[in-house]
Structure 1
Amino acid sequence: MEESRISRTQALMLVISSITVTGHLLFIPVILNHASRDSWLSLLCAAVPALLAAYLTARLSQRFPGQSPVEYARTILGRWLGSAVSALFIFYLFHDATLSIRGFGEFFTSAITPRTPILVYMTAIIILAGYAVRSGIEVISRTNQMFLVMIIPVGILASILTHKDKDYRNFLPVLENGLQPVLMGALTLLSLYSTFIILGMLLPFAPREGRIGRASMATMLILVVMFLGPLTGPVAIFGAERSMGLSFPSFQILRDIKVGELQRLDLLGIMLWSMGSFSKIALSLFATCLGVSQWFGLKDFRVLALPVGSLMVIVSLLHSRNFLELYSFFQSTYPYYSTFCGLLLPAFLFGVAVLRRMRVPGAPAGGGERS
């Protein structure tokens, strides 16, 4: 078992990076294609169920302190059904990692260096992630802290520098195409926020002191706010029609910034997205290896980093023939599949635990500490 310890703040920061990077690279264009100028409404619609996802993750960890979702699924449902649910959750973590690896490679080969084989980037990022996993969760969390300290000022700077180019009349008329596109955009966002469940793999390595319920929901609110600019900026700057055709809208905004001597801000964006992708993939690889070791009863999950990481690269290559197929998967299948695994399944586990009044010895009564 991992001996490193991290704070709850570090765990929550890892989740922020994980969701933010994946969302900006892969989900923003999908949401814009669904809802276009009404994407901000999709964000509002997704906020409440997203908070529910954070609440469920926190409450389950409070009822079963020291256990990951892989472990407390067995505690709640029994050996056989619990093992099946745990296996599904491990696959969810594994598959989410493969999508992030493929998205990272597609970003570089589509937007930056189209002549470089995608396998080069995918292999490089998984080698770094594998080394980080073998070094421990503390290394991943500290590296991630440096990334977050940099990305927030860059986001604020980009918003300020592009303010003069924004035309908010592009958001009119509201609900031109009805509610269905807005709801599809909201479901896509919710499927992204449902990956918050990965926090459950980190909390066993964090101290139990503190109000994890409130902290988790506050973190989700931060994540909602962090997507407001990336969803509204492309529409305000490029217009509804053009923003729907951009593969990487946030990157295009950075690439177009030119203020006096301040140019090529996209290079800073490339660096930050690379660091963020490392944090995301390393976290997903860590969680997958930990889950597999818990499912099979292995003592050390670090030995799984190389074989599991290699398998992730292979699956990410076979997943889609090109970026359009990957994009189509995020647009059609992923929203339902991710929402089921990351929101509905935890809700089911929590419901069963409450009805059966289940908690491990030492867990506070009432479902957890003060939240």
Structure 2
Amino acid sequence: MEKAKISSSQLFILMILFELGSALLVPLAIKAKQDAWLAILLGMLGSFVLFLVYHKLYTYYPTLLPTEYMQKILGKMMGTVLAFVYILYFMYDASRVLRDFGEMLLTFSYPDTPLFIANALLMLVIIYTVRKGIEVIARSGELLFIFMYILAVAGFILIVSSGLIDVTNLKPVLEEGLLPPLKIALSETLYFPFTEAIVFTMILPYLNNPKKVKVTMICATGLSGINLAITMLINISVLGVDLTARSQFPLLSTVQTIQVADFLERLDVFFMLAMVIGIFFKVCMLFYAAVIGAANLFKIKSPSRLSYPLGIVILFLSITIASNFQEHLHEGLYAAKFALHIPLFTIIPPLLLLVAFFKKRKKQRE
């Protein structure tokens, strides 16, 4: 681990930027139709339970990275294998979010630019930032968080003042009962974007006030969930359910409809700036977790040495991960969920906590 410390407010900001990240891009929970906002909030509430599990593991080993305490809990061999799986997952998820960025940039304004070039430009900035360490990432987050929220508030005011919102698009509420949004919450929104924040277990040992971890994580996730729910409410009320479901980037389509007094229009660039900020921090956190995790696991004294090789792997993986954007989305929503999200987020952490709990009791008895 590098000799660095971050505050609880910096952790709060990084978590919000991470969870908003690429989730603002896609039609989140749209299978729940006009109840998508409710499915997001239910997924957020479900993630609180898992965050308590992650936090409890942290309280057992407050100074150790997960790559270390997995070996203490499961033994050297099994712990090393599991830690390596999580590092691979962080790299895979970083490549997926990087692909989201490239696809958005090409769709929005650079249709003739190769995907590799778009992804490589962002990856170079991320590698540079990660080499500087967690304190620099956290300070950058504080600065850009304010800018992102100014854009969000300005966009909301402009959408309302344009008279675009049609509340009838949100009716009827719970048309088929509570079961459909609950299903979507348990199968989609619980994993993306909320419990993806398991990556922050790699950052918790850097916190200068460990007592505030639980409150910070829950408050950050709560604010992110409310923001995402409001975003989907606006998308559906402006575009309608069908158009939101068909749109690759519904928030972009919503922003493009803004027209105030035949003067303020084509404000897509504001959307792009907010998206670039969110995606930058999401890839940054995943990449940083992979770098320090790999350095810790393989006993490399200088983690920054790994940033270039791992960064190049993530860059090439983002290109080869899928042949087109639709395949990329399908893989993220279905294949990755069953193969990675369910076991890594909801099954393995509670099992680790159970073993750690019994080991601690045994030690206390002895």
Contact residue 161 and residue 257 of structure 1 kept, 8 A: yes
1:4 deviates by: 2.8
Deviations 1:95-115 (A, max 9, x none): 110101111101111222211
Q: Does 1:343 align with 2:346?
A: yes
Change (3 A) 1:359 1:221: farther
Q: What are the residue-to-residue correspondences of 1:211-360 with 2, within 5 Å?
A: 211-260=212-261, 261-336=263-338, 337-357=340-360
Specify which of 10, 15, 39 is matched with residue 42 of structure 1.
39
1:358 deviates by: 6.7
Q: Does 1:169 align with 2:168?
A: yes
Structure 2: segments with no counterpart, 5+ residues: none
Aligned counterparts of 2:271 and 2:361: Cα–Cα separation in 1: 46
Change (3 A) 1:302 1:330: same
Specify the SS of the correspondent of 2:360. Answer: coil
Contact residue 101 and residue 122 of structure 1 kept, 8 A: yes
Deviations 1:115-141 (A, max 9, x none): 111111110111111111111111111
Deviations 1:257-292 (A, max 9, x none): 121333332212212221222222122111101111
Aligned counterparts of 2:345 and 2:188: Cα–Cα separation in 1: 13
Change (3 A) 1:296 1:263: same
Q: Does 1:205 align with 2:206?
A: yes
Report the aligned-residue RMSD. 2.1
Aligned counterparts of 1:84 and 1:358: Cα–Cα separation in 2: 25
Q: Does 1:135 align with 2:137?
A: no
The equivalent of 1:24 in structure 2 is 24
1:153 deviates by: 2.5
When normalised by structure 2's length, the TM-score is: 0.92
Aligned counterparts of 2:170 and 2:50: Cα–Cα separation in 1: 29
Specify the SS of the correspondent of 1:161. Answer: helix
Contact residue 68 and residue 204 of structure 1 kept, 8 A: yes
Aligned counterparts of 1:359 and 1:210: Cα–Cα separation in 2: 26
Change (3 A) 1:358 1:95: farther
The equivalent of 1:66 in structure 2 is 63
Aligned counterparts of 2:362 and 2:278: Cα–Cα separation in 1: 35
Identity %: 25
Deviations 1:160-201 (A, max 9, x none): 322332122212233445666424531211112111111111
What letter matches 1:4 in structure 2?
A
Aligned counterparts of 1:339 and 1:194: Cα–Cα separation in 2: 10
Q: What are the residue-to-residue correspondences of 1:106-185 with 2, within 5 Å?
A: 106-163=103-160, 164-176=163-175, 181-185=180-184
The equivalent of 1:368 in structure 2 is none
The equivalent of 1:14 in structure 2 is 14
**Larger displacement relative to structure 2 (177-186 or 330-339):** 177-186
Aligned counterparts of 1:317 and 1:245: Cα–Cα separation in 2: 24
What letter matches 2:29 in structure 1?
I
1:355 deviates by: 2.6
Specify the SS of the correspondent of 1:333. Answer: helix
What letter matches 1:284 in structure 2?
L
Contact residue 63 and residue 359 of structure 1 kept, 8 A: no
Contact residue 289 and residue 304 of structure 1 kept, 8 A: yes
Change (3 A) 1:315 1:51: same
Aligned counterparts of 1:325 and 1:177: Cα–Cα separation in 2: 30
Contact residue 54 and residue 217 of structure 1 kept, 8 A: yes
The equivalent of 1:101 in structure 2 is 98
1:93 deviates by: 0.8
Change (3 A) 1:113 1:358: farther
Structure 1: segments with no counterpart, 5+ residues: 366-371
Deviations 1:338-362 (A, max 9, x none): 23312332222112212322799xx
When normalised by structure 1's length, the TM-score is: 0.90
Contact residue 191 and residue 334 of structure 1 kept, 8 A: no
What letter matches 2:188 in structure 1?
T
Aligned counterparts of 1:145 and 1:229: Cα–Cα separation in 2: 23
Contact residue 295 and residue 303 of structure 2 kept, 8 A: yes
What letter matches 1:125 in structure 2?
L
Aligned counterparts of 1:98 and 1:180: Cα–Cα separation in 2: 33
Specify the SS of the correspondent of 2:211. Answer: coil
Aligned counterparts of 2:55 and 2:159: Cα–Cα separation in 1: 37
Aligned counterparts of 1:47 and 1:97: Cα–Cα separation in 2: 22
Contact residue 28 and residue 232 of structure 2 kept, 8 A: no
Change (3 A) 1:180 1:115: farther
